[in-house]
Amino acid sequence: MINNALRRVAQYLLISGGLLILLALMLSGEWRDWQDSSSWQHVTTSDFTIQPKNSSARYRYIVDGQQYEGGRIYFFVLARFQDDRVLRWLEFNRQAEELTVYYDPDLPQRSVLVRGGLEDPWFLQFPIICGVAGLFVLIPVVIFGSLWRWLQQQFPN
């Protein structure tokens, strides 16, 4: 009985994860970009040192006449807590000719800074990749679970 309950919970978690990925896909397609030709003039760093624990990135952008400030340089929230990645990003992109801020039109405070004027940024394709990969995981799990249940019914111990 417990095995069936755990299996059902796992199936619900996989299905809800797939639905969340599809929701993220739909929402990320609506993000807009704000570009500034002067590049790093509006991109400032605060406490930029060689020590990874002190590195951070701050940038300013304008949406509908209102100025916002952001510090996110990776689309996923957990990645911004890894300070050594911030340091590497700053070193790699310091000489970039063009930087683009992508922001959420419903909540302009949410933004991410990427290098260059990407017409098809990778982070907008990432939910599609995760959704397809999730389906390749979800379908075999459901098929194997159904087959396992059928085998247990056909050949009880």
Tell me the β-bridge partners of 111. Answer: 103
Collapse the DSSP code of 104 into the 3-class scheme (helix H, G, I; strand E, B; otherwise coil) and give the result: coil
Q: pTM for this structure?
A: 0.42
Residue 58 host element (H or E):
strand 58-63
26-73: per-residue pLDDT in tens? 666 655 554 443 333 333 333 333 344 555 667 777 777 788 877 776
Structure tokens at 105: 């039109």
d(CA 157, CA 150): 13
Q: What is the CA angle 31-36-38, rounded to 5?
A: 155
What is the rounded CA–CA span in Å between residue 34 and residue 150? Answer: 55
Q: What is the pLDDT of residues 84-111, one digit of tens each?
A: 665 566 666 666 556 677 777 778 787 7
